[in-house]
Amino acid sequence: MTTTHCATETLADLTERFPEFPSAEQAPKPVHDDRKLWTLFVDKEMTALMPADEYSRAKAVTTYFFRAVDQLKTRQMESVGALLRQGVEALQTLTHPYAHLYARQFQLSADALYAYKEGRYDLAFAQTVECVGLNDYLVRLGCPSMLFRSLEQNINLCLVYSRQGNVAAERRMLNGLIRYLLLGETDSALFGTAFADSVPQLRSGYLAFVAEGCLKTYVATAAGMLIRTAGANPEAEAGHFEELLGNIGEFAAPSLERVVLYNWLYLKRVYFRGAFDQFAQEVAEFLAEPYERRFDVLKFSLCQNLLFGLQSRSIRAPLLEARIQTYIHTKLSYKPGQSNFLLPGQTGQNQLA
């Protein structure tokens, strides 16, 4: 397939513009730190459920589990067991029921990660589901911020599904998480009972800031999955996209995060319907915006489509291809192979070591 005159002009324009596309370093700094906000909200809610000293003791116990997680991330497996045992012993000193419950759910997620790292996926799954149940209870007690722990654990279940070879379940769950945060729709694929009642708070309350941060992370996870599919078999990406994001239609976009997601979904659909000339024209406007680092994976995905679109149409544009590759390696922080296994107490991206 040869280029048309219009496509030739488009490719020439893209070739000229690629060196000028910005990196995330040029993006405005996020107004809110998702992690810090979440911690502040949890502290406020938990101290309303129990005396401050009881909550402080519970937080001290959780440090054993956080240290274990840090070592699991660096595969220091030999000392993890001892830390987890010390955490369990410390847990037994917590006699306030809600303090015990708070620390216990962090123990479960640390245990689940340990089992996951050892390849005991059924146990990791069971412990993660139990963790969701405890967080549901904390939400109903009056700590709605713990809903994000339930969301995190569902993302972790996606990883377990993947390791078990249940790709369909993995995609259904991630799709359910994105639709929940984006559209307020609840899905039977998700584990947890507190989601439906919490939609109003996520849409307009103080939790909305953290919810938008989670949405960015989960969309980035979905984009990473598409990148890995396209890297192995570019022809299969369209079907994977439909399974993962195809049922996300129109939605309100009152925030920058949602505008970015809306435009990215639009461009992916233009590409998948075969309108490559249109895609090549319009993708430049997306790449020209300096978005925050978490959106680098979306830009990588579009660059991957550009490269494959050129190759599959036998379009010779060696300078453009070279500039796309240079842009990927020098301007984008995302590298293929990154995974998001959200660890205890975290609301952002992590690499699964």
Percentage of the chain beyond pLDDT 90 is 74
Q: Which tens digit of pLDDT belongs to each residue from 153-184?
A: 999 999 999 999 999 999 999 999 999 999 98
- Domain end residue (candidates: 164, 185, 206): 164
Q: Is residue 171 domain-resident?
A: no
118 and 242 together in one domain:
no
236 and 353 together in one domain:
yes
| Amino acid making up residue 239 | G
105 and 25 together in one domain:
no
- Domain end residue (candidates: 114, 141, 164): 164
- CA count, 13 A, side-chain hemisphere, 89: 6
247 and 349 together in one domain:
yes
Greater model confidence, 1 or 230? 230
Q: Is residue 333 domain-resident?
A: yes
Q: Kindly report the number of other CB atoms within 10 A of residue 163's CB atom.
A: 13
Q: Is residue 186 domain-resident?
A: no
DSSP-derived letter for residue 50 is S
Average pLDDT, the chain: 89
26 and 50 together in one domain:
no
> What is the number of domains present in the chain?
2
Distance CA 249, CA 315 (A): 32
pTM of the model: 0.88
DSSP-derived letter for residue 247 is T
296 and 330 together in one domain:
yes
Joined together, the tokens standing for residue 225 give: 């999955």
19 and 36 together in one domain:
no
State the residue range of the domain holding 265: 1-31+222-353
Identify which of 200, 211, 169 has the alpha carbon closest to the alpha carbon of residue 187. 169
| Amino acid making up residue 281 | Q
Joined together, the tokens standing for residue 101 give: 């419950």
| Residue 213 phi, psi (nearest 5) | -65, -40
**Per-residue pLDDT at 353 exceeds 50:** no
- Of 10-19, 26-35, 42-51, give the lowest mean pLDDT range: 26-35
Q: Is residue 139 domain-resident?
A: yes
Identify which of 252, 345, 334, 327 has the alpha carbon closest to the alpha carbon of residue 298. 334
Q: Which tens digit of pLDDT belongs to each residue from 16-35?
A: 999 999 999 998 887 778 88
338 and 291 together in one domain:
yes
Task: Give the CA distances from residue 23 to residues 218, 231, 262, 289, in Å, rounded to whole numbers and listed in that order.
Answer: 21, 23, 20, 9
**Per-residue pLDDT at 79 exceeds 90:** no
Greater model confidence, 76 or 179? 179
Identify which of 300, 194, 214, 301 has the alpha carbon closest to the alpha carbon of residue 255. 214
- Domain end residue (candidates: 98, 129, 164): 164
38 and 19 together in one domain:
no
Q: Is residue 272 domain-resident?
A: yes
Q: Is residue 61 domain-resident?
A: yes
Q: Which tens digit of pLDDT belongs to each residue from 183-196?
A: 988 877 899 999 88
**Per-residue pLDDT at 115 exceeds 90:** yes
Greater model confidence, 187 or 13? 13
Distance CA 206, CA 44 (A): 12
114 and 10 together in one domain:
no
240 and 121 together in one domain:
no
Distance CA 51, CA 64 (A): 22
pLDDT reported for residue 12: 92
Identify which of 66, 59, 95, 100 has the alpha carbon closest to the alpha carbon of residue 83. 66
Distance CA 202, CA 195 (A): 10
24 and 65 together in one domain:
no
| Amino acid making up residue 296 | D
Q: Is residue 51 domain-resident?
A: yes
Distance CA 130, CA 60 (A): 22
Taken in order 187, 225, 159, 143, the sign of the CA dihedral is negative
Q: Which tens digit of pLDDT belongs to each residue from 335-352?
A: 875 443 322 333 333 333
- Biggest alpha carbon distance in the chain? 76
Joined together, the tokens standing for residue 257 give: 């995060």
Q: Is residue 174 domain-resident?
A: no
Joined together, the tokens standing for residue 211 give: 């919810």
